[in-house]
C-alpha cells in the first residue's frame, strides 16, 4: 500500500513537472513544444560529442598551417570539401577569392651592441625582405604609435623604430584594437619619420618568447621598410637596453616575398531547408591561418565548432530554413574570402536570417548579442533563454561584435549575432608558433558546439524569419 501511495505521488509529481514544461513551451510564440524539446535533445547530445574535437584534430594534424596561397591552404580547401561531404551536408561547393600573395622564407634578429644576444622576431605579413646580411641600425624607441606620429619629420632618420606598446589582457579582447594599429600602420609611419626598419612589441598578452605575426600594410608613395615584431620578453629586454642610455644597435634579417595575385576558395556546406530553402542561417569561421603554428585556435576551432554545430542542429531532421556553413578564405591577409563572398552572393544576402562567425579561439561562450530589427527581438529573447542554462548571458541588441568575416556583410543589414567566447587567454597564442592543438580544451569545445547548434536550430526553425536592421 505504502509502495502504491509513493508511486502515485511520484506520478503526480512527474505529471506536474511535465505540465510545467509544457506550460513553458506553450508560452512560445515562435516554437512548438516539440521543437523546444528538440533543442534540449540537441544540447544534450552536443555536450557529449567530440565531433568538433575530431575535426580540429584532423585539420591541424593532417593539414597543418594554412597560409593563403600555400600548399597547406590548398590542402585545407580539399580537406573541408571532403569533410562536408563525409558529414552528410546536402550541398558542398567552393567559390574563388583572390588576394595579394606573400610568403615568408626566414627571419632572425640580434642585438649587435652594447650586449650581443639573439632576439625572437617574426616578420609581419606583407613585409619586404632586408638585404641578405640583414639590416643593421640604431634603435629609437617610442611608447606607442601616437608618439611616433607626433614626432618630428626626421625623428627616426636612419634608425630602426621600435614601438613598445603593451597590450591589455581582456575577456572581450578590447586590448586588441589599440594595439593592432601599430602592426597595421607602424612601418608606414616609421618610414615617414625617416626610419630604415620597423620592429614592434608583439600584439600579445603572453609571457612566453614567441613573436606574434599578423597583417601589415604599406602605403603608396611611402618607402617600404622591413616590418617585424618581437616577443614580449624580447621587447622588455630591448627596452632595458635602450634605457641604459647608450646607443643600441640591432640587426634584423627577414627574407620574404610578395608573389602577385593568389587564389584560394571559400568552402561552403549547406543543409537544405524544407519550407524556405533559400532563407538560411549562416555560421562559419575562416579556413586559412598564419604559417607559424597550426592555426588550432585561429581558426581551426571556429571551423570545427560551426561544422559540428550544423550537424547537431539537423539532428532531428531537415530544418525549415537552410543552415549554411561558410569557411572563409584568406581572412588573415585582409578578409579576402569574405569580400569575395559578399560580392558573389550580393543578390541573396537578404536571405540570411541569422549570421555568426566563430573566430576568437576555443574558450567557453559567455555572451550572446544580436543586431536585429526590433520586431525580431521576442524571437531572439527565446533563443537567449535556451542559451542561458549554458551560462551564456544575453547582452544587448546593438552592433553585435561578430566575427571579422561578417564585416563585408554589414552594409546589407544582415541579422548578425555574436556568441562571444572568453578571450582572456586568446592573445597569448594568437598568430604565434604556439597556436597548436594542445591549447584547445575538448570539453569547452563541446560547450561551443551546443551553443551554436541551439542558435542555428532555433533561427532556422522559428515560425517567422529574423529580420535585420
Nearer residue to Zn ion within complex by CB, 225 or 356? 356
Find the part of the chain contacting Zn ion (CB under 5 A) among 53-61, 313-321, 336-344, 353-361. 353-361
User: What x-and-dash track marks residues 305-344 binding Zn ion by CB under 5 A?
Assistant: ----------------------------------------
Q: What whole-number distance in Å separates Cα of residue 149 and Cα of residue 120?
A: 26
Which of 331, 332, 357, 369 does the annotation list as catalytic? 331
Q: What whole-number distance in Å separates Cα of residue 405 and Cα of residue 267?
A: 13
Nearer residue to Zn ion within complex by CB, 194 or 337? 337
Kindly tell me the burial class for residue 396, based on how many C-beta atoms sit within 10 Å of its own C-beta (0-12, 13-18, 19 or more). exposed
Taking a C-beta distance cutoff of 8 angstroms, is the pair 436, 60 a contact?
yes
CB of 173 to Zn ion, least distance (A): 11
Cell for 319?
530544418
Nearer residue to Zn ion within complex by CB, 270 or 299? 299
CB of 63 to Zn ion, least distance (A): 16
Q: How many residues bind Zn ion (CB under 5 A)?
A: 3
Cα Rg of the chain (Å, integer) = 25
CB of 288 to Zn ion, least distance (A): 9
Residue 169's DSSP bridge partners are none
User: What x-and-dash track marks residues 241-280 binding Zn ion by CB under 5 A?
Assistant: ----------------------------------------
How many C-beta atoms lie closer than 10 Å to residue 115's C-beta?
Answer: 12
Q: What whole-number distance in Å separates Cα of residue 225 and Cα of residue 135?
A: 10
Q: What whole-number distance in Å separates Cα of residue 57 and Cα of residue 60?
A: 5
Q: Quickly tell me which residue has 527581438 as its cell.
A: 377
Q: What whole-number distance in Å separates Cα of residue 163 and Cα of residue 285?
A: 31
Nearer residue to Zn ion within complex by CB, 291 or 298? 298
Nearer residue to Zn ion within complex by CB, 177 or 221? 177
Nearer residue to Zn ion within complex by CB, 284 or 319? 284
Find the part of the chain contacting Zn ion (CB under 5 A) among 55-63, 110-118, 246-254, 291-299. 291-299
Taking a C-beta distance cutoff of 8 angstroms, is the pair 54, 469 a contact?
no
Cell for 67?
597560409
Regarding 299 and contact with Zn ion (CB under 5 A), the answer is: yes
Give the H/E segment covering residue 251. strand 249-271
Q: Biggest alpha carbon distance in the chain?
A: 98
Half-sphere exposure of 160 (CA within 13 A, CB side): 29
Find the part of the chain contacting Zn ion (CB under 5 A) among 26-34, 195-203, 290-298, 381-389. 290-298
Candidates 73, 359, 382, 422; binder of Zn ion (CB under 5 A) is: 359
Nearer residue to Zn ion within complex by CB, 197 or 302? 302
Q: What whole-number distance in Å separates Cα of residue 54 and Cα of residue 292?
A: 22
Residues 136-155 that bind Zn ion (CB under 5 A): none
Q: What whole-number distance in Å separates Cα of residue 395 and Cα of residue 100?
A: 38
Find the part of the chain contacting Zn ion (CB under 5 A) among 71-79, 197-205, 276-284, 359-367. 359-367
CB of 299 to Zn ion, least distance (A): 4
CB of 95 to Zn ion, least distance (A): 19
CB of 359 to Zn ion, least distance (A): 4
Tell me the CA end-to-end span of the chain in Å, nearest whole number.
63
Cell for 271?
543543409
Is residue 332 among the annotated active site residues? Answer: no
Find the part of the chain contacting Zn ion (CB under 5 A) among 3-11, 292-300, 364-372, 394-402. 292-300
CB of 403 to Zn ion, least distance (A): 8
State the residues that interact with Zn ion by CB under 5 A.
298-299, 359
Which residues have a catalytic role annotated?
Answer: 331
Amino acid at each position: 500500500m505504502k509502495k502504491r501511495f509513493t508511486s502515485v505521488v511520484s506520478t503526480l509529481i512527474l505529471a506536474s513537472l511535465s505540465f510545467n514544461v509544457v506550460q513553458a513551451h506553450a508560452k512560445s510564440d515562435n516554437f512548438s513544444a516539440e521543437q523546444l524539446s528538440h533543442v534540449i535533445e540537441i544540447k544534450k547530445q552536443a555536450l557529449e560529442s567530440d565531433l568538433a574535437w575530431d575535426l580540429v584534430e584532423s585539420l591541424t594534424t593532417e593539414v597543418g598551417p594554412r597560409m593563403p596561397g600555400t600548399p597547406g591552404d590548398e590542402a585545407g580547401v580539399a580537406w573541408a570539401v571532403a569533410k562536408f561531404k563525409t558529414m552528410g551536408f546536402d550541398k558542398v561547393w567552393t567559390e574563388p577569392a583572390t588576394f595579394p600573395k606573400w610568403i615568408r622564407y626566414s627571419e632572425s634578429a640580434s642585438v649587435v651592441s652594447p650586449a650581443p644576444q639573439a632576439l625572437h622576431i617574426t616578420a609581419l605579413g606583407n613585409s619586404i625582405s632586408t638585404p641578405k646580411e640583414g639590416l643593421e641600425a640604431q634603435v629609437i624607441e617610442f611608447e606607442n604609435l601616437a608618439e611616433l606620429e607626433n614626432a618630428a619629420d626626421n625623428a627616426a632618420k636612419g634608425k630602426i623604430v621600435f614601438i613598445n606598446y603593451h597590450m591589455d589582457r581582456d575577456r572581450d579582447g578590447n586590448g586588441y584594437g589599440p594595439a593592432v594599429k601599430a602592426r597595421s600602420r607602424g612601418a608606414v609611419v616609421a618610414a615617414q619619420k625617416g626610419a630604415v626598419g620597423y620592429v614592434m612589441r608583439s600584439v600579445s598578452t603572453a609571457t612566453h618568447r614567441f613573436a606574434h605575426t599578423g597583417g601589415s600594410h604599406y602605403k603608396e608613395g611611402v618607402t617600404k621598410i622591413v616590418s617585424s615584431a618581437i616577443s614580449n620578453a624580447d621587447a622588455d629586454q630591448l627596452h632595458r637596453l635602450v634605457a641604459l642610455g647608450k646607443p643600441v644597435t640591432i640587426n634584423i634579417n627577414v627574407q620574404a616575398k610578395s608573389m602577385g595575385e593568389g587564389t584560394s576558395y571559400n568552402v561552403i556546406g549547406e543543409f537544405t531547408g524544407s519550407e524556405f530553402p533559400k532563407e538560411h542561417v549562416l555560421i562559419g569561421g575562416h579556413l586559412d591561418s598564419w604559417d607559424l603554428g597550426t592555426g588550432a585556435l585561429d581558426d581551426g576551432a571556429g571551423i570545427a565548432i560551426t561544422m559540428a554545430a550544423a550537424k547537431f542542429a539537423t539532428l532531428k531532421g531537415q530544418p525549415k530554413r537552410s543552415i549554411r556553413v561558410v569557411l572563409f578564405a584568406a581572412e588573415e591577409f585582409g578578409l579576402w574570402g569574405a569580400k569575395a563572398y559578399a560580392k558573389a552572393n550580393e543578390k541573396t544576402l537578404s536571405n540570411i536570417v541569422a549570421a555568426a562567425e566563430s573566430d576568437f579561439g576555443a574558450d567557453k561562450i559567455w555572451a550572446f548579442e544580436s543586431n536585429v530589427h526590433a520586431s525580431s527581438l521576442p524571437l531572439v529573447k527565446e533563443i537567449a533563454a535556451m542559451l542561458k542554462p549554458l551560462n551564456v548571458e544575453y547582452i544587448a541588441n546593438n552592433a553585435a561584435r561578430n566575427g571579422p568575416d561578417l564585416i563585408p556583410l554589414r552594409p546589407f543589414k544582415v541579422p548578425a549575432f555574436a556568441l562571444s567566447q572568453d578571450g582572456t587567454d586568446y592573445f597569448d597564442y594568437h598568430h604565434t608558433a604556439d597556436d597548436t592543438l594542445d591549447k584547445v580544451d575538448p570539453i569547452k569545445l563541446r560547450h561551443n558546439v551546443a551553443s551554436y547548434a541551439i542558435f542555428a536550430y532555433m533561427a532556422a526553425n522559428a515560425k517567422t524569419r529574423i529580420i535585420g536592421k
